[in-house]
Chains A and B, each alone.
Chain A
Amino acid sequence: MRPGIRASAVLGAGTVAAVLTGCAAPAGDAGKTLTVFAAASLQTPFTALAEEFEAAHPGTTVTLSFAGSSDLATQISQGAPADVFASADTKNMAKLGGAGLVEGSPRDFATNVLTIAVPPENPASIASFADLAKPGVRTVICAAQVPCGAATKRVEQETGTTLTPVSEESSVTDVLGKVVSGEADAGLVYVTDVKAAGDKVQAIPFPESAQAVNTYPIAAVRTGKNQDLADAFIEAVTGTDGQRILRGAGFGTP
């Protein structure tokens, strides 16, 4: 134990010094690295897309970072090294554009709509959006501050339905988690989330979801280091192959 402590104290001092001076690992010089910041809901299709892109551009490595769109926009405006930003809503793309960090004009590449997710056995017998407001139904939605919650709010307004959720989560993943674990009778999530969850949840589509279509824009980041590669990646996403992969994951055409 003793020698370990001494060694880690010395190491610790060195590490802290390195951190304080802002030491960064040098970029790989064997090939080019493209860093893509993408909304969490894009994880499955963009992982597949990145693999195809790497195969089509030998020597190129695509690094993917998935998180909530507003987190990513904040990280980029704080100087995170992104080449491409794919947002789950136009608001966060506009935020980045307003900060002068978007190169060219963003291109819409996908849409996503809400659906009702219920546990496989559908314990509360949910069949429509209005069913979610029935007394005794434990519905979980996104908080109005996040994109999926804003979409939920819009559907509520358009349909004149007022939901009394048992929880307003801060991410769509948390909503889905509550449904998968069987805690909630129903949750409002995106079509693509249900698709990614496989047979752990069942989707109950509802026509009113058309009132709140989320559009996904993609753009190159002005501070990015690989402008050409960024443009090529955006071409791949908006091109036939990219669109095929996105359709497969449940996304709609913009």
Chain B
Amino acid sequence: MYTGIPRWVAAIAAVGALFVLLPLAAMLGRVNWPQFIPLITSESSLTALGLSLRTAAASTVLCVLFGVPLALVLARGDFPGQRLLRSFVLLPLVLPPVVGGIALLYAFGRQGLLGQSLGIAGLQIAFTTTAVILAQTFVALPFLVVSLEGALRSAGSRYESVAATLGARPTTVLRRVTLPLVLPGLASGAVLSFARSLGEFGATLTFAGSLPGVTRTLPLEIYLQRETDADAAVALSLLLVVVAVVVVGLSYRGPAPAGSGGRSARTGTPGRVPA
């Protein structure tokens, strides 16, 4: 594998890395270490952290549930409007979260498109934990779709064609061939979705509100603590950074290297094909 990188590219890369690391290091310098443990284990902090972890987990499940079919349709399907559908699915990636929150409000809010029918059915979404999960799913879904669609495209459809010619039904091909092939891509997509859900702020603030234990996730708690207790805000920020680094670092391996190693690792376990 070719590994030659021009020196000037490396230099600019170093500046780029520094640009990301410097603020984090600066934040580390501002942490009130003697008070750090009491600050992050205060009742309000633990409540917010617990809520964040629970809602992010629920959102990740929703992302997988809806994202896998979406990615399959986008990668394997062939229908008019496919490109348009992809653009819209990916829109939350570039939308300011507050815009997402406003859009969700007009869809699921009390006066919203679906809100009135939901209200008649006795379902209130605004100001509930459900609203937080919806907001997180909205912003995190594209991460799963992008990762998985990429994995599907690079895996190709040779094994699936073989399975189909051997008489496997589409659902069997999906379960026994396609999904095992793209499992690494699915896993990294799910991790990215979880991390994005954990950091969701704008859409939650706009759409869900902020009540301890119900809708006030860790980012909202940090935003509020910053008003009065900078030490608590910094300590909680660090906590969020650590959780994010652990989650992403442990499970997200990034795109497989282009060399033969990654390829054979992927294609080595295509699952058993029924004869």
B129 → chain A closest CB, angstroms: 12
Chain A residue with Cβ nearest B106 = A181
Using Cβ atoms and an 8 Å threshold, which residues of chain B touch A60? none
Residues of chain B within 8 A (CB-CB) of A9 are 12
List the B residue with the shortest CB-CB distance to A119.
Answer: B111
Chain A residues in 8 Å Cβ range of B227: 68, 70, 143, 145-146, 170
B223 contacts partner chain A, Cβ-Cβ < 8 Å: yes
List B residues 107-164 near A (Cβ within 8 Å): 109-111, 126-127
Are A170 and B220 interface neighbours, CB within 8 A?
yes
Residue pair B211, A166 in contact (C-beta under 8 Å): yes
**Shortest CB–CB separation between residue A107 and chain B, in angstroms?**
25
Q: Is the CB of B105 within 8 A of A168?
A: no
Q: Does B74 contact A (CB under 8 A)?
A: no
A window 1-32: CB within 8 A of B: 9, 12-13, 16-17, 20
| B228 A167 Cβ-Cβ under 8 A | no
A169 at the interface (CB under 8 A from B): yes
A205 at the binding interface (Cβ < 8 Å): no
Residues of B181-215 at the interface with A, using a CB-CB cut-off of 8 Å, are: 205-206, 208-212, 215
Assembled-state Cα–Cα distance A214/B212 (Å): 26
For residue A174, CB closer than 8 A to chain B, the reply is yes
A96 to chain B, nearest CB (A): 15
Partner of A178, one of B15, B209, B224, B228: B209
- Shortest CB-to-CB span from B22 to chain A, Å, is 9
Q: How far is the CA of A126 from the CA of B198 in the complex (A)?
A: 37
* Any B CB within 8 A of the CB of A182: yes
Q: Are A168 and B225 in contact (CB-based, < 8 A)?
A: no
Which residues from B are CB-within-8-Å of A70?
Answer: 227-228
Of all chain A residues, which has the CB nearest B9? A9
Q: Which of A168-207 contact B (CB under 8 A)?
A: 168-170, 174, 177-178, 181-184
Tell me whether A16 and B15 are in contact (CB under 8 A): yes
Q: A residues within 8 A CB of B79?
A: none
Among the interface residues B19, B228, B229, which one has the most CB atoms of the partner chain A within 10 A?
A: B228
Also in contact, A145 and B224, with CB within 8 A (given A140-B209, A168-B210): yes
CA distance A104 to B208 in the complex (A): 44
Are A177's CB and B206's CB within 8 A? Answer: yes
Type the 1/0 row for A69-82, where 1 means its CB is closer than 8 Å to any CB of B: 01000100000000
CA–CA, A143 and B212, complex, Å: 10
Which residues of B have CB within 8 Å of A184? Answer: 127
In the complex, chain A residues 64-102 whose Cβ is within 8 Å of any chain B Cβ: 68, 70, 74
Closest-by-CB residue of A relative to B216 is: A168
Interface size on B, residues (CB 8 A): 27
CB pair A13 B12 closer than 8 Å: yes
Q: Which of A13, A165, A181 contacts B109 (CB 8 A)?
A: A181
Alpha-carbon distance between A115 and B130 when the two chains are bound, in angstroms: 30
Does A138 sit at the interface, judged by CB under 8 A? yes
**B209 with A169: CB separation less than 8 A:** yes
- In the complex, which residues of chain A have a beta carbon less than 8 angstroms from the beta carbon of B211? 165-168
Asked if B209 contacts A167 (CB within 8 A), the reply is yes
Taking the closest CB of chain A, its distance from the CB of B14, in whole angstroms, is 11
Q: From A16, A68, A169, A182, give the contact of B210 (CB < 8 A).
A: A169
* Structural contact, B223 and A13, CB atoms closer than 8 A: no
A209 to B109 Cα, complex, angstroms: 30
- Across the interface, name the chain B residue whose C-beta is closest to A177: B206
Interface centre among A13, A138, A168 (most CB of B within 10 A): A168
Q: Is the CB of A167 within 8 A of B109?
A: no
- Bound together, the chains give a CA A168 to CA B230 distance in angstroms of 19
Q: CA separation between A139 and B92, bound complex, in Å?
A: 30
Across the two chains, which residue of chain A brings its CB closest to B124? A138
Interface contact A182-B209, CB-CB below 8 Å:
no
Q: A16-B15, A17-B15, A167-B208 are in contact. List 14 more A-B contacts (CB 8 A).
A: A13-B15, A68-B227, A70-B228, A74-B230, A143-B227, A145-B228, A146-B224, A167-B127, A167-B211, A168-B210, A169-B205, A170-B223, A170-B224, A183-B109
Instruction: Mark A residues whose CB is within 8 Å of B.
Output: 9, 12-13, 16-17, 20, 68, 70, 74, 138, 140, 143, 145-146, 165-170, 174, 177-178, 181-184
Query: 25 interchain pairs (CB within 8 A)?
Result: A13-B15, A16-B19, A70-B227, A74-B230, A143-B210, A145-B224, A146-B224, A146-B227, A166-B209, A166-B211, A167-B127, A167-B208, A167-B210, A168-B210, A170-B205, A170-B223, A170-B227, A174-B206, A181-B105, A181-B109, A182-B109, A183-B105, A183-B111, A183-B209, A184-B127
